[in-house]
Amino acid sequence: MLTRQGDALMLEGPVTFDSVPALVGAAEEHFRGGVSTIDFSRVTDIDSSAVALALEWLRQGARANLKVRFVNLPQSMHNLGKLYGVSEILASALA
């Protein structure tokens, strides 16, 4: 689930193959409205699709002329980023 809290989006619950399809477009409208921070502190579980989602959100933000920032990225997501060779891309989006 993705909810707006002030100037940030709060990502909550599992971010897995089952939940990612619904999340892909959920942030885009907020990006167009100027929201650029996504908080992962309430994420309970991730798999490799979470990395793909983060990369897609970076692309969506770029289309909206925003630099998307991620806060409280789980260590497991950092590890997956290293595994897939995208850790530098994820690191560039850390707030």
User: Would you report the helix, strand and coil content of the chain in percent, each value rounded to 5?
Assistant: 45, 25, 30
> Residue 33 to residues 3, 28, 37, 83: CA-CA distances in angstroms?
14, 9, 12, 33
Q: Look at the pTM and tell me if it is higher than 0.85.
A: yes
CA torsion, ordered 84, 90, 91, 92, to nearest 10 deg: 130
Domain spans in the chain, listed from the N-terminal domain onward: 2-92
What CATH number has the domain spanning 2-92? 3.30.750.24
Residues paired with 45 in a beta bridge: 14
Give CA–CA dist 63/52, Å, rounded.
17
Q: Give helix then strand counts, H and E, for the chain.
A: 5, 4
pLDDT in tens, the chain (95 residues): 999 999 899 999 999 999 999 999 999 989 989 999 999 999 999 999 999 999 999 999 999 999 999 999 999 999 999 999 999 999 999 97
